[in-house]
């Protein structure tokens, strides 16, 4: 009989979103009227539609595919058309990062790249992740047989783990960082990221930097790209996505930057990480659809930037509304400034599932229990700004009503 990959037995049950939807279904069945007022601020999916510049570009590209002269099939490189890679390179230049177009790999999103990148590292690699973290880093590392170690993100460091928060004795080969962070909403300053870059250089580790939320950054001391930090090209790759930046969660497009000077130890010395990733992608990936790449290109035009910024501002306003309420209630939180998430301490010593149930049953608001992201989330709760102003205000009124009499 064919045997399963035994590493899969080491995965934790992926019960977070399953358990959330089960509890919602149970509640809805028992309370059909209250269920009509349910406000969902749990799942990290955007809610505002694609902007007109993006939609027009995508439609136009589809029309080209309908005509013999302009039809396109497989893309030669599978790494993204030049027009899009040049546009991304120009976008980086706007916030001070030198990223040559030929170091950019266009992808179907940051989730697949952040999981697939493990393919090019040895199975016995030690992977450092922050706790809490986006679950993909942990699960994909475990599937590949790698060892996962943790650096604690907690109240002592504003939920932004630093190298000294890793207490283990192993030397990490791979370090996953996510800033602005999902789920904690914290964002590293340039100095903090420099500490990580120096740490990686000293330990000969590779940083996999997830910049999926870079577009939410407003504070100038928080870098939009790790490549604005000195020395980063020698230790880091960066993974980004148009999912949160431009509402591409359903359209699917992201990109990964691999500096050509990065190397990994190999049996005959050192091998270029860029070559390894090219080989991996060439074998298992055939590129992103042409219309989606044209739609993505439109995000980086002046018109696309103006339009997508309006959407980002809309979400920012929601984050502000949540921050105001949490401040009024005297609840400790991180996020909301450079992030669509607020991450706050569950009141009255509740754990995150208890508070989830209370919010669902008494306020009819759905959030995400922090426990789903790691040990350090067991008494924290995540709310997202991907909703309407009206719903966000209403949810905050209900939270106040729920907590003020306590
Ligand atoms: C949403 C998200 C992504 C984006 O994933 P896509 O596959 O591009 O949609 C990546 N990383 C984190 C931490 C995210 O929250």
> pLDDT digit string (tens) for 313-342?
999 999 999 999 999 999 999 999 999 999
The pLDDT of residue 13:
80
* Residue to mutate, 43, 112, 136, 182, ligand 1, most ligand atoms under 8 Å from C-beta: 182
Protein residue with least CA distance to atom 15, ligand 1: 182
**Residues 144-164: what's their mean pLDDT?**
98
| Alpha carbons 375 and 146: distance in angstroms, whole number | 20
- Atom number of ligand 1 nearest to Cα 109: 8
What is the share, in percent, of the chain residues with pLDDT greater than 70?
Answer: 100
Cβ of 109 below 6 Å from ligand 1: yes
The pLDDT of residue 247:
97
Handedness of CA 8, 162, 321, 243 (dihedral sign): negative
Cβ of 247 below 6 Å from ligand 1: no
* Residue to mutate, 47, 107, 111, ligand 1, most ligand atoms under 8 Å from C-beta: 111
The pLDDT of residue 404:
82
Q: Which residues contact 402 (CB under 8 A, 6 or more apart)?
A: 358, 359, 362, 363
The pLDDT of residue 47:
87
Cβ of 44 below 6 Å from ligand 1: yes
Cβ of 46 below 6 Å from ligand 1: no
pTM (whole model) above 0.95: yes
Cβ of 212 below 6 Å from ligand 1: yes
Count of beta carbons in the 10 Å neighbourhood of residue 95: 14
What is the share, in percent, of the chain residues with pLDDT greater than 90?
Answer: 95
CA atoms within a 13 Å half-sphere pointing along the CA-CB vector of 130: 31
pLDDT classification of 405: cutoffs 50, 70, 90: low
* Residue to mutate, 180, 244, 385, ligand 1, most ligand atoms under 8 Å from C-beta: 244
**Residues 69-92: what's their mean pLDDT?**
97
The pLDDT of residue 17:
87
Tell how far the Cα of 182 is from the centroid of ligand 1, in angstroms: 9
Helix (H, G, I), strand (E, B) or coil at 135: helix
pLDDT classification of 358: cutoffs 50, 70, 90: very high
Q: Which long-range contacts (CB under 8 A, 24 or more apart) does 135-141 make?
A: 135/14, 135/16, 135/372, 135/373, 136/111, 137/176, 137/178, 137/208, 137/210, 139/11, 139/12, 139/14, 139/115, 140/114, 140/115, 140/116, 141/174
The pLDDT of residue 281:
97
First CA to last CA distance, the chain? 59
- Atom number of ligand 1 nearest to Cα 113: 7
* Residue to mutate, 243, 250, 368, 385, ligand 1, most ligand atoms under 8 Å from C-beta: 243
pLDDT at 116 over 80: yes
**Residues 114-132: what's their mean pLDDT?**
98
At 90-107, the pLDDT tens digits run 999 999 999 999 999 999
pLDDT at 406 over 60: no
pLDDT at 187 over 60: yes
Protein residue with least CA distance to atom 2, ligand 1: 212
């Amino acid at each position: 009989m064919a045997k399963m990959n035994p590493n899969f037995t080491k995965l934790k049950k992926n019960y977070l979103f399953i358990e959330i939807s089960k509890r919602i279904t149970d509640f809805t069945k028992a309370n059909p009227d209250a269920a009509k007022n349910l406000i969902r601020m749990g799942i990290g999916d955007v809610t505002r539609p694609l902007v007109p510049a993006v939609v027009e570009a995508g439609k136009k590209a589809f029309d080209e595919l309908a005509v013999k002269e302009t039809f396109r099939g497989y893309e030669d490189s599978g790494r993204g058309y030049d027009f899009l890679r040049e546009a991304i390179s120009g976008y980086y230049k706007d916030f001070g990062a030198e990223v040559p177009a030929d170091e950019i790999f266009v992808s179907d999103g940051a989730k697949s790249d952040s999981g697939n990148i493990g393919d090019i590292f040895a199975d016995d690699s030690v992977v450092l992740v922050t706790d809490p973290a986006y679950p993909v880093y942990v699960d994909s590392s475990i599937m590949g047989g790698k060892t996962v170690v943790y650096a604690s993100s907690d109240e002592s460091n504003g939920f932004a783990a630093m190298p000294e928060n890793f207490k283990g004795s192993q030397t990490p080969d791979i370090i996953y960082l996510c800033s602005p962070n999902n789920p904690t909403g914290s964002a590293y300053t340039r100095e903090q990221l420099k500490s990580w870059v120096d740490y990686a250089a000293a330990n000969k580790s590779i940083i996999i930097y997830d910049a999926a939320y870079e577009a939410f950054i407003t504070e100038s001391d928080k870098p939009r790209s790790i490549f604005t930090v000195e020395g980063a090209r020698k230790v880091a790759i960066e993974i980004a996505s148009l999912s949160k930046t431009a509402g591409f969660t359903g359209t699917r497009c992201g990109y990964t930057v691999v500096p050509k000077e990065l190397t990994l130890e190999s049996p005959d010395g050192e091998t270029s990480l860029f070559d390894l990733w090219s080989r991996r992608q060439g074998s298992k990936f055939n590129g992103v659809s042409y219309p989606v790449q044209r739609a993505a290109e439109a995000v980086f035009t002046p018109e696309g930037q103006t339009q997508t910024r309006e959407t980002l501002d809309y979400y920012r306003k929601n984050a502000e509304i949540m921050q105001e309420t949490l401040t009024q209630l005297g609840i400790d939180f991180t996020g909301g400034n450079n992030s669509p998430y607020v991450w706050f301490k569950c009141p009255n010593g509740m754990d995150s599932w208890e508070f989830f149930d209370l919010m669902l049953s008494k306020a009819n608001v759905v959030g995400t229990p922090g426990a789903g992201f790691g040990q350090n989330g067991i008494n924290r709760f995540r709310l997202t700004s991907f909703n309407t102003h009206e719903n966000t205000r209403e949810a905050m009124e209900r939270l106040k009503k729920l907590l003020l009499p306590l």
